[in-house]
Amino acid sequence: MKPATRRESAPRRESTTRRESALDRFLRYAVIDTQSAEDVVQVPSTSKQLDLARLLMAELKGMGLKRVTLDAHGYVMATVPSNLPKDHLARGKVPRVGLIAHLDTSPSASGARVKPQVLTYRGGDLKLPGNPEVVIRARENPELKGQVGKTIVTSDGTTLLGADDKAGIAAIMTLAEQLTGPGAPLHGDVQIAFTPDEEVGRGTAYFDLERFGADVAYTFDGGTVGELNKETFSADGATITVHGRNIHPGEAKGVMVNALRVLADVIVRLPRDLSPERTEGHEGFIHPHSAGGEEALASVKLLLRDFDEAGLRQQKKLLEAILKEVRPLHPGARLELEVKPSYRNMRDRLAAEPEVADALEEATRRAGVKPRWVPIRGGTDGSRLTAMGLPTPNVFAGGHNFHGPTEWLAVEGLEKAVLVARQLLEVWVEVGVKRRPVGR
């Protein structure tokens, strides 16, 4: 197959131009390091997320939006006021629609000194220039088949790209500019929010629903064009801690209780078929993602995921059974299991207000895209916001292979996300003409 046609790495630009494209916006935002951090109490977990937050606040103010704020926890919020005429049938009946994306990138790969590569995809595998050992393989990325002859963006292979979720930010900012210029569609109040620390599970920790003021909302934090999400995993986090006993190894016989060996006996008993590598669709998993320690104390952290809470309870019972089996093998050890709730599937709550998903599906069709509802094998800010009372499905933004150096962005998907957001506002105006809006 022909190699990709590669352009220069995108330089960082210091200011926006009028009617800047979604791609150009994304390239500007992508080079700002906003990586969040695990196990940090404060929000935002890293101060560098505020670098992008301050830039977005300045740009929103420059567009003339109202109630533009940046709070101490890194939440950027703004309002595009309704442009409905006083005599319009929908005036006063259109829900305030929220559009949300997150500032941070994953701690799983570096977000510093990102060098976006803009190219026309010609088929085949893509070797990234900064690290030839990092390859975006066509067989592992079936979505690439539909991108032949089209523009995509990759990193140089030394960092992640940041399409998760700077593509969502770029889509929302592009629409915001369209709404403040000539030719804007009729719309009710539009509430915009950019949140910190989504990647480390604290994106809504200080989200002020009252200040945000939306009746319905949509996160732009998805991947393949056309994919919409109204259900997520339900999630718990589990920690297994082993207390052993340490002593000099030369005098250890009959005395030492090596916590690392005990922990190994636990991990090896985790069902292989209940792992991320062997599950898909609506199948849940138990995923050990972090382990460490020494002879006296060792622990492993696990992700418990299922689309039903009953499945999570079953996974907890499975872990308890493993510990029960291991304890007699190491009578001098003490094993503890702690399980903490993380987030819950938003499916049932969204089903109670079907207008929210129906509007998104209709807007996607109007954007010339075939809508496909797929379950998120993960979570979004929308999971918690929905549980908090703000119905919030998720929308694609064109990104793929999140959280690593093989991440890439389909520019067509980004541009379609802008159009879907625009159509959403028009659909809700029509809904306002026909019936009362949904609300919290």
Confidence check: pLDDT of 5 > 60: no
Identify the domain containing residue 72 by its residue range. 5-231+345-434
Query: Within its chain, how far is the Cα of 304 from the centroid?
Result: 18
Same domain, 257 and 406: no
In a domain, 245, yes or no: yes
In a domain, 440, yes or no: no
pLDDT of residue 435: 56
> For residue 312, what is the domain's CATH number?
3.30.70.360
Q: How far apart are CA 403 and CA 108, in angstroms?
A: 6
Q: Give the tens place of pLDDT for each residue, 333-350.
A: 999 999 999 888 999 899
Mean confidence (pLDDT) of the chain: 92
Q: Give the tens place of pLDDT for each residue, 30-41.
A: 999 999 998 898
Same domain, 171 and 315: no
Same domain, 224 and 303: no
Same domain, 335 and 378: no
Active site residues: 104, 198
Banded model confidence at residue 14, pLDDT cuts 50, 70, 90: very low
Banded model confidence at residue 222, pLDDT cuts 50, 70, 90: confident
Q: How far apart are CA 170 and CA 389, in angstroms?
A: 26
Residue range 159-171: average pLDDT?
97
Banded model confidence at residue 63, pLDDT cuts 50, 70, 90: very high
The percentage of residues in the chain with a pLDDT greater than 70, rounded to a whole number, is: 95
Same domain, 208 and 245: no
Same domain, 271 and 420: no
Confidence check: pLDDT of 164 > 60: yes
Q: Which of 342, 364, 388 is the last residue of a domain?
A: 342
Beta carbons of 325 and 268 less than 8 angstroms apart = no
Q: Which of 342, 373, 402 is the last residue of a domain?
A: 342
Q: Which of 308, 323, 342 is the last residue of a domain?
A: 342
Same domain, 170 and 137: yes
Confidence check: pLDDT of 6 > 80: no
Confidence check: pLDDT of 18 > 70: no
Same domain, 269 and 285: yes
The domain tally of the chain equals 2
Residue range 167-182: average pLDDT?
95
Residue range 89-113: average pLDDT?
94
Q: How far apart are CA 262 and CA 332, in angstroms?
A: 10
**CA neighbor of 352 nearest in space, from 429, 438, 227, 437:** 438
Residue range 255-281: average pLDDT?
96
> For residue 218, what is the domain's CATH number?
3.40.630.10
In a domain, 439, yes or no: no
Same domain, 372 and 385: yes
